[in-house]
A = this chain, B = another copy of it.
Amino acid sequence: MSQRKYVYDFAEGSREMRDLLGGKGANVAEMTRILGPGRVPAGFTITTEACVAYMGAERVYPGGLQRQIDAALHRLETAAGRQLGDADDPLLVSVRSGARASMPGMMDTVLNLGLTDQSVSGLAQATGNPRFAWDSYRRLVQMFANVVRGVPGESLERAIEAVKSARGVRLDTELTVEDLQELVERFKTLLHESTGEAFPQDPRKQLDESVRAVFDSWRGERATQYRRINKIPDDWGTAVNVQQMVFGNEGDTSGSGVAFSRDEMTGAPEPSGDFLINAQGEDVVSGVRNTQDLADLARVMPAAHAELMEILRKLEGHYGDIQDTEFTIEDGRLFMLQTRVAKRPAQAGLRFACDAVDEGLLSEAQALTTLDAAKLEALLHPTFDPAVEYEVIAHGVGASPGAGQGEVVFTAVSAVLAKEEGREVVLVRPFTEADDVAGFHAATGILTSEGGKASHAALVARGMGRPCVVGASELDVDVANGVIHVDGLVIHEGDHIGIDGTTGAITTDKVPLVPPVMTDDFRRVLGWADKLRRLGVRANADTPEDARQAHEYGAQGIGLCRTEHMFMASDRVPKMREMILANTPELRASALEALLPLQQGDFEGLFEEMAGLPVTIRLLDPPLHEFLPSPVELTVELERARNGNSDQDVAHLEKLLERVTSLGEVNPMLGTRGCRLGILYPDIYEMQVRAITRAAIAVRERTGSMPKLEIMIPLVDYERELEVVRELIERVAEAEGLTAGKDYLIGTMIELPRACLIADRIAEHADFFSFGTNDLTQTGLGFSRDDIEGSIVGPYIDLGILDRSPFETIDVPGIGQLVMMAGWLGRKHHPKLGLGICGEHGGDPESIAFFHSSGLDYVSCSPYRVPVARVAAAQAAVASPVHWGG
């Protein structure tokens, strides 16, 4: 019976086998193959499948594994011409974990495995270097005790300190052979005291225990925590790499180092890195000794340096990306131990992409795929000068990138007033609501003590490109008394505060800002993206300023103009309230009449800004009570007025409270909003349609060309709702001289599960669908964004129920299924139906990949995310060029 293959020699693997061999194993195998014999120390990888089987069988090796390890070890011994544990000239190996994704927190490395009380002498003799042999043995016993057997690192370190202080020396390198021998004894004693077991003198037992320790560490607390945070599934398991040791600590013709194929901080095309003479790799990364710059290696060991440069070029060319490698020079001979794609800042990534194309290394499409699209947004906001250090008083969640600073204000009104006086302010609130939006415009940044990445504050700030930090729970924001308490510190209204919306840092220092730049590299990359992508990219923009910004960032139209934001402006809210509170149809009509020219002006601005590009305007969506004061505030005010503690008129307040209460809703998200509002109060929609059509006509007369107008109806459940509102729009527009289908289009938001389920019927009355995935997520999951983000998402991630907020990246099995279903049903009925998405997910790279493969026509996102979306859409097209759409 043929058994499953659990062990692969390095020479058998390749980089495509990452899932099976782990990242480290796959890359070592790949390197072994391309660099040819003798350059990579030989070894083998025990697969992730072996780990999964081991965990599933309650820590028992799967059948055949032991035999396969034995065979692989035998091959390694034969090739090396040495035996593990040989008394005269032993083979030594390293054991390293290696999951699919890089994972700190797992058991890392056991070096020099194979040394015993006997073979250490053999090694000393064979190398003629007893200090090297005993230092290696000391390292093995220490690592084994610590990482395999769990003896606390500190107690082992204390033993070293004790010996050093007894000898009166300061550095590890000053320890003699005798000192090292004593240390080995002390470590063995500690190990025995701590675990009741001796250090194993059988090298096969050392190996077996180390392999098991790697497997077990997958389930360790820190690794589990790391997986939660980094969204790595629990069932991947880890591979184990067993590799012949080479020694950078054999003397002055030996050394170890790390080398990047290009400068990993700037992307500049020169290799960079660090090394140490006469050292093992762990000495380089531990930071105990001061490393030398890689350039110095050319002087010290010119031949090895030249070989390394050649190898770096070869690896980079092979992988098509900047490589981050580890090397060891053993007595002048260069060995490569590891290679992987280097992490880099966004700007360096852009530079590499451009250089790689210019050098002929990569095609434009290949170069694009080397970029991390989500990181690009940060390049479009001013940031704190990275060269300046500042004191962080607290950390929140970075919710909208860029840095903002100014005086603390606690209300939207204060923010607006300060702005008018030319002062810069940061709006600080426990959380924000619709009423606060005017303050967002006026502030340089928004800071809240509650909420998560999809809270109201985060969403609105991101939409406007305002830096924002949310959920800074250490802050006690006392709006009533105008102070913030944080860890004993008291910050008053008017005091200086600064926030970094990328890192979430909060400071009271005044930190210099660095302005944003759209570099030539960035522009060039966006040019490639536009050639490669199939998805259109539009912006969500409510004002001409937003539209201008969006246009500048390459938006191909406005996918969502939220007309309610126009009503929130301070000159509009009183008229809006007047309209809502009107007693008679006449008062109501006259309030609407007053709002009409204001709306018309806004629309004219949008149309002119987006000349020639589509502009999708959504009719009023939120419930009316969002425009009114809160019942709690009013109740308190009324109580005060009744007690003579307020100037306000009791009767007036009573009337107001009655109206506010009657409009109040238990679950406003599921209440009288969207087209329900337009159907119950048709005069509001009529006014809006009149303002939209008049604006379009005015712009046509002024510019000679008709705006590409799309009117969008929110929150449709029933095809008949769409029919009723469509009739209203066509009637009003026709009276102004515009005809549906010819002069403008009518579409609908698809943002309720029912609408997805009967999308074929809805498509009968729609020219286009725009998925509102925010509300679709709220209803499809029964998750109120405002209520859930702060309280549920965190614990759910910890418990492995969620891997991230469904408001950040679309929930593919649930909400994604609804989107696919609705697109399919809609297009089945109406093959030319336009399909877009205008929720927050429109700016999220992973969600964009899903929308690409779902056959949507475009995504629409906040202006600052437009460049991100262009790149992500191109990456999706490169990864998956086909789609099912029309």
A: which residues have CB within 8 A of B? 631-632, 635-636, 639-640, 643, 645, 665-672, 676, 679-680, 715, 717-718, 720-721, 724, 751-754, 757-758, 761, 775, 778-784, 786-788, 791-792, 795-796, 799-802, 811, 813-815, 817-818
Tell me the minimal C-beta distance from A2 to chain B in angstroms. Answer: 31
- In the complex, A666→B802 CA distance in Å? 22
- In the complex, A751→B782 CA distance in Å? 9
Residues in B neighbouring A792, C-beta threshold 8 A: 672, 676, 680
12 residue pairs bridging A and B, Cβ less than 8 Å apart: A632-B632, A639-B639, A665-B784, A680-B791, A717-B781, A717-B814, A721-B801, A753-B753, A753-B779, A754-B815, A779-B779, A779-B780
Residues in B neighbouring A799, C-beta threshold 8 A: 679, 720, 724
- In the complex, A718→B751 CA distance in Å? 20
Q: Which of B631, B666, B680, B813 contacts A784 (CB 8 A)?
A: B666
Contact flag A786-B724 (CB < 8 Å), given A631-B632, A757-B818: no
- In the complex, A801→B678 CA distance in Å? 14
**In the complex, what residue of chain B is closest to A623 when comparing beta carbons?**
B787
Residues in B neighbouring A672, C-beta threshold 8 A: 787-788, 791-792
- In the complex, A795→B724 CA distance in Å? 12
Tell me the minimal C-beta distance from A657 to chain B in angstroms. Answer: 10
Question: Is the beta-carbon distance between A666 and B752 smaller than 8 angstroms?
Answer: no
- In the complex, A332→B670 CA distance in Å? 67
- In the complex, A34→B784 CA distance in Å? 63
**In the complex, what residue of chain B is closest to A811 when comparing beta carbons?**
B754
Residues in B neighbouring A752, C-beta threshold 8 A: 780-782
Tell me the minimal C-beta distance from A679 to chain B in angstroms. Answer: 7
- In the complex, A641→B788 CA distance in Å? 33
Tell me the minimal C-beta distance from A475 to chain B in angstroms. Answer: 15
Question: Is the beta-carbon distance between B715 and A782 smaller than 8 angstroms?
Answer: yes
Question: Is the beta-carbon distance between A668 and B668 smaller than 8 angstroms?
Answer: no
Tell me the minimal C-beta distance from A111 to chain B in angstroms. Answer: 39
Tell me the minimal C-beta distance from A466 to chain B in angstroms. Answer: 22
Tell me the minimal C-beta distance from A379 to chain B in angstroms. Answer: 34
Tell me the minimal C-beta distance from A715 to chain B in angstroms. Answer: 7
List 3 A-B pairs, minimum CB-CB distance, nearest first. Answer: A670-B784, A754-B814, A667-B784
Residues in B neighbouring A818, C-beta threshold 8 A: 753, 757
Residues in B neighbouring A643, C-beta threshold 8 A: 643, 645
**In the complex, what residue of chain B is closest to A751 when comparing beta carbons?**
B782
- In the complex, A801→B635 CA distance in Å? 37
A640, A778, A796, A817: most-surrounded residue (chain B CB, <10 A): A796
Q: Which of B632, B636, B667, B788 contacts A786 (CB 8 A)?
A: B667
**In the complex, what residue of chain B is closest to A677 when comparing beta carbons?**
B792
Tell me the minimal C-beta distance from A713 to chain B in angstroms. Answer: 13
A752, A754, A811: most-surrounded residue (chain B CB, <10 A): A754
**In the complex, what residue of chain B is closest to A720 when comparing beta carbons?**
B801
Contact flag A787-B753 (CB < 8 Å), given A643-B643, A720-B799, A792-B680: no
- In the complex, A682→B667 CA distance in Å? 26
Question: Is the beta-carbon distance between A775 and B779 smaller than 8 angstroms?
Answer: no
- In the complex, A815→B679 CA distance in Å? 23
Residues in B neighbouring A811, C-beta threshold 8 A: 754
Tell me the minimal C-beta distance from A31 to chain B in angstroms. Answer: 38
Question: Is the beta-carbon distance between B754 and A781 smaller than 8 angstroms?
Answer: yes
Tell me the minimal C-beta distance from A641 to chain B in angstroms. Answer: 11
A645, A791, A800, A818: most-surrounded residue (chain B CB, <10 A): A791
Tell me the minimal C-beta distance from A728 to chain B in angstroms. Answer: 11
Residues in B neighbouring A676, C-beta threshold 8 A: 792
Tell me the minimal C-beta distance from A792 to chain B in angstroms. Answer: 6
Residues in B neighbouring A668, C-beta threshold 8 A: 666-667, 784, 787
Contact flag A778-B670 (CB < 8 Å), given A676-B792, A795-B679, A814-B754: yes
**In the complex, what residue of chain B is closest to A775 when comparing beta carbons?**
B782
Tell me the minimal C-beta distance from A826 to chain B in angstroms. Answer: 15
Contact flag A782-B670 (CB < 8 Å), given A632-B635, A758-B814: yes
A669, A782, A814, A818: most-surrounded residue (chain B CB, <10 A): A782
Tell me the minimal C-beta distance from A805 to chain B in angstroms. Answer: 13
Tell me the minimal C-beta distance from A377 to chain B in angstroms. Answer: 28
Tell me the minimal C-beta distance from A796 to chain B in angstroms. Answer: 8
Residues in B neighbouring A671, C-beta threshold 8 A: 784, 787-788
Q: Which of B631, B680, B751, B783 contacts A670 (CB 8 A)?
A: B783
**In the complex, what residue of chain B is closest to A674 when comparing beta carbons?**
B782
Residues in B neighbouring A639, C-beta threshold 8 A: 636, 639-640
**In the complex, what residue of chain B is closest to A676 when comparing beta carbons?**
B792
- In the complex, A174→B775 CA distance in Å? 73
Question: Is the beta-carbon distance between B801 and A724 smaller than 8 angstroms?
Answer: yes
Residues in B neighbouring A636, C-beta threshold 8 A: 635-636, 639
Q: Which of B715, B754, B791 contacts A780 (CB 8 A)?
A: B754
- In the complex, A671→B811 CA distance in Å? 18
- In the complex, A818→B814 CA distance in Å? 12
**In the complex, what residue of chain B is closest to A752 when comparing beta carbons?**
B782
Tell me the minimal C-beta distance from A716 to chain B in angstroms. Answer: 10
Tell me the minimal C-beta distance from A227 to chain B in angstroms. Answer: 14
Q: Which of B645, B718, B791, B814 contacts A757 (CB 8 A)?
A: B814
- In the complex, A758→B814 CA distance in Å? 7
- In the complex, A754→B801 CA distance in Å? 14
